C-alpha cells in the first residue's frame, strides 16, 4: 500500500479555521489529484495538477486551494469559505500518458 501517503488520517476543525491536508507520493508520478467523497455521491474532483507549478480546478474547487511546488507533494487547503467541508478526502496520482490513478489512504475531515 505504500507509494502515496496522506496525513493526518483524521482531522477535526472548528468553523472558520483553514486546514491543510498533506499528500505525498514517491512514485515519480507527474499528475496528482484531490477528490472529495460524500456518502452516496462517489468521488468528485476538487483540483488536479499535471506538472509542477501548474494546477487546474476540478468540478468543486470553491472553498479549496492547492499548491504544487514539488513533484512529490500536492497539499490541499480547506478554507473557511468552504460551506460544508466535512467529508472524506482522497489524493491520487498517475504517470504521464497513463490513466490508472493510485489513491492514498484518505483523510477524514470533521468540522465541529
Partner 1 sequence: GENVEQHPSTLSVQEGDSAVIKCTYSDSASNYFPWYKQELGKRPQLIIDIRSNVGEKKDQRIAVTLNKTAKHFSLHITETQPEDSAVYFCAASEGAQKLVFGQGTRLTINP
Nearer to partner 1, 41 or 84 (CB): 41
For 55-112, give the DSSP string: EEE-TT-TTEEE--SBTTB--EEE-TT-S---EEEEEEEE-TT----EE---EEEEE-
Q: Single out the residue of 3, 11, 27, 45 in contact with partner 1 (rule: CB under 8 A).
A: 45
Choices 17-25, 63-71, 72-80, 91-99 (CB under 8 A): range interacting with partner 1:
91-99
Residue 54 interacts with partner 1 (CB under 8 A): yes or no: no
Q: Which residues bind partner 1 (CB under 8 A)?
A: 1, 31, 35, 40-45, 48, 50, 90, 94, 96, 98-106
Amino acid at each position: 500500500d505504500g507509494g502515496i501517503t496522506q496525513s493526518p488520517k483524521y482531522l477535526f476543525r472548528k468553523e472558520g479555521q483553514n486546514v491543510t491536508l498533506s499528500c505525498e507520493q514517491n512514485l515519480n508520478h507527474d499528475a496528482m489529484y484531490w477528490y472529495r467523497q460524500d456518502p452516496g455521491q462517489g468521488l468528485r474532483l476538487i483540483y488536479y495538477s499535471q506538472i509542477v507549478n501548474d494546477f487546474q480546478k476540478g468540478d468543486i474547487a470553491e472553498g479549496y486551494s492547492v499548491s504544487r511546488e514539488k513533484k512529490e507533494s500536492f497539499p490541499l487547503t480547506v478554507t473557511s469559505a468552504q460551506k460544508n467541508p466535512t467529508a472524506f478526502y482522497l489524493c491520487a496520482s498517475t504517470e504521464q500518458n497513463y490513466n490508472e490513478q493510485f489513491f492514498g489512504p484518505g483523510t477524514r475531515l470533521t468540522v465541529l
